Amino acid sequence: NDNVDDVICVRDVRKAFGDTKALQGCSFTARRGEVHAIVGENGSGKSTLAKIISGVFPADSGTVELQGGTPSSPAHARTLGVATVFQEVLLAEGMTVFDNLFIGAEGPRTRKGPRAEQLRRVAAVFTELLGEALDPYGLVDDLPLSMRQWVTIARALLSEPRVLILDESTAALDHSGAERLYEAVVRLKAAGMCVLIVTHRIEELTRFADRATVLRNGVDVGTLEGPQITQNRLLEMMTGDTAHFG
């Protein structure tokens, strides 16, 4: 692929878990400076796709190209500029917010700089996301679920990724939290990031997704752009049922 703006190129990706065919042929391209939604009902293969792009496991067949290569592990995906907020909110219990933000961080810049500089960046990222700082030395165990979700989002942003993947990241947030996250997404897009929003909550998307790729039973049934992205159209594609029209 020679388009320099294409940062994720997925071609006919397939993946089975035993007898479960999670992905049965998915293709799409996502560009820099784009909010690209991956939508589909529960079990349609969205998280499997997110994990393949994030290097968690390889595809059985098909190709995933990021700028610089095909992710062969989560660490490799991070060095290729991908940061993923996985659907399962995984934090290291018994450890502080600060330690959770930097554990296993292999982004090009995350580990750089003295602790004071790291603390400054942590304060900046939470202020950007939440409008307020979060005590970096508090234990993650003591945080409410929504704040735990914000920690995973902050962890992704601290690696300064080219591609940010958010897998159902509003699930633990209330309405105003979701609005805050989407405002941040719009700012990140304006700064040139490619943001992949993986969700079954389509009502949230129509305002700001530039393109939306729809999965049904592990197959991509098409990609909508701009004003084509309506709830009715998305529902129809997700379910294969035209009754949603009208």
User: Which stretches of the chain bind Mg ion, using CB under 5 A?
Assistant: 46-47, 87
Q: Under a CB-based contact definition with an 8 Å cutoff, are residues 202 and 39 in contact?
A: yes
Which residue, 79 or 217, is less far from ligand ADP as judged by CB? 217
Residue 70: how many other CB atoms lie within 10 Å:
17
d(CA 85, CA 149): 9
Site residues (CB under 6 A) for ligand ADP, limited to 122-161: none
- The yes or no reply on residue 71 touching ligand ADP (CB under 6 A) is no
State residue 193 phi and psi, 5-degree precision. -75, 155
CB of 167 to ligand ADP, least distance (A): 7
Q: Which stretch binds ligand ADP (CB under 6 A): 14-22, 130-138, 155-163, 219-227?
A: 14-22
The entry of ligand ADP, Mg ion, none near residue 177 (CB within 5 to 8 angstroms by kind) is none
CB of 86 to ligand ADP, least distance (A): 11
d(CA 172, CA 153): 12
- The yes or no reply on residue 33 touching ligand ADP (CB under 6 A) is no
- The yes or no reply on residue 45 touching ligand ADP (CB under 6 A) is yes
Residue 113: how many other CB atoms lie within 10 Å:
12
- The yes or no reply on residue 202 touching ligand ADP (CB under 6 A) is no
Amino acid identity, position 172: A
CB of 45 to ligand ADP, least distance (A): 4
CB of 212 to Mg ion, least distance (A): 16
Pairing of the two strands 6-17 and 61-66: antiparallel
- The yes or no reply on residue 84 touching ligand ADP (CB under 6 A) is no
d(CA 185, CA 195): 7
d(CA 245, CA 231): 10
- The yes or no reply on residue 201 touching ligand ADP (CB under 6 A) is no
- The yes or no reply on residue 47 touching ligand ADP (CB under 6 A) is yes
The entry of Mg ion, ligand ADP, none near residue 44 (CB within 5 to 8 angstroms by kind) is ligand ADP
d(CA 12, CA 117): 43
With CB under 6 A as the contact rule, the residue among 5, 17, 103, 187 that binds ligand ADP is 17
Alpha-carbon torsion angle 177, 181, 182, 184, nearest 10: 140
Alpha-carbon torsion angle 231, 169, 78, 103, nearest 10: 180
With CB under 6 A as the contact rule, the residue among 10, 40, 173, 235 that binds ligand ADP is 40
Contacts with ligand ADP, residue ranges (CB under 6 A): 17, 20, 22, 40, 42-48
